[in-house]
Amino acid sequence: MRTAVLLLAAASLFAAPPVYRVRVETTKGIFVVEVHRDWAPRGADRFYELVRAKYYDNSRFFRAVAGKWVQFGIAGDPRLARKWRHRTIPDDPVRESNKPGYIAFAFTQPGTRATQVYINLGDNSRQDSQGFAPFGKVAEGMDVVERLYTGYGENSGGGMRAGHQDRIFEQGNAWLDREFPKLDHLIRARIER
């Protein structure tokens, strides 16, 4: 009985509030994500956990494709990125659509969501049937998100499935800054109180 109680307590350690907001400071300005736990509870909980752990701080928007999405979620410090890389969470059912401004976890196949998230810059509702479950939306500052540098497209961080992100995990910001110096920075993300 004691083991079951401890497991239950550990599982709910990072349970997010029903609705919370995250203020994201970038090199282009500030935007705010409003997260709704009832849309995708596991995704909302993991995002809450990562923001509280300051995982996203000092990282890069490494995959930005005009009119499609902006992706982030590989820590700039390779040690931290490796620590979280395979800490996956179960999938959530899709309850909202991948509309402009909505945010969801990226993954390669079912059961592989870990830390990477993307914000839809266009209508990506075709991804709904693939299991990409939005857990929130940009409530303020979508103009900031739309100004993030997209000139490298898929070249600076696309290809999760093909292993094209391995150098980011191995070398972090040092590699991105050397090879793709125009990428915008995610300075810090904080839960708004």
Q: How far apart are the first and last CA of the chain?
A: 36
| Nearest residue to 183 (alpha-carbon basis) of 152, 158, 155, 160 | 152
**pLDDT at residue number 160:** 58
Distance CA 188, CA 171 (A): 20
CB 135 within 8 A of CB 44: yes
| Beta-strand runs (E) in the chain | 19-26, 29-36, 59-60, 63-65, 69-72, 102-105, 117-120, 134-140, 185-191
Distance CA 124, CA 65 (A): 12
Interhelix angle 166-179/78-85, nearest 10 degrees: 150
**pLDDT at residue number 68:** 97
**pLDDT at residue number 159:** 61
Query: What are the tens digits of pLDDT across the range 60-73?
Result: 999 999 999 999 99
Q: Burial, 132: exposed, middle or buried (Cβ in 10 Å; 0-12, 13-18, 19+)?
A: buried
**pLDDT at residue number 158:** 72
pTM exceeding 0.85: yes
CB 184 within 8 A of CB 25: no
**pLDDT at residue number 12:** 44
Q: What is the pLDDT along the chain (193 residues), one digit of tens a residue?
A: 444 434 433 444 578 999 999 999 999 999 999 999 999 999 999 999 999 999 999 999 999 999 999 999 999 999 999 999 999 999 999 999 999 999 999 998 999 999 999 999 999 999 999 999 999 999 999 999 999 999 999 898 876 544 578 999 999 999 999 999 999 999 999 999 7
CB 166 within 8 A of CB 27: no
| DSSP state, residue 172 | H
| Nearest residue to 114 (alpha-carbon basis) of 184, 173, 43, 175 | 43
- Cβ density class 5-35: b for 16+ within 10 Å, e for less: eeeeeeeeeeebeeebbbbbbbebeebbbbb
Domain 16-191 belongs to what topology? Answer: Cyclophilin (2.40.100)
Residue carrying the six token digits 């909302």? 44
**pLDDT at residue number 10:** 41
**pLDDT at residue number 8:** 39
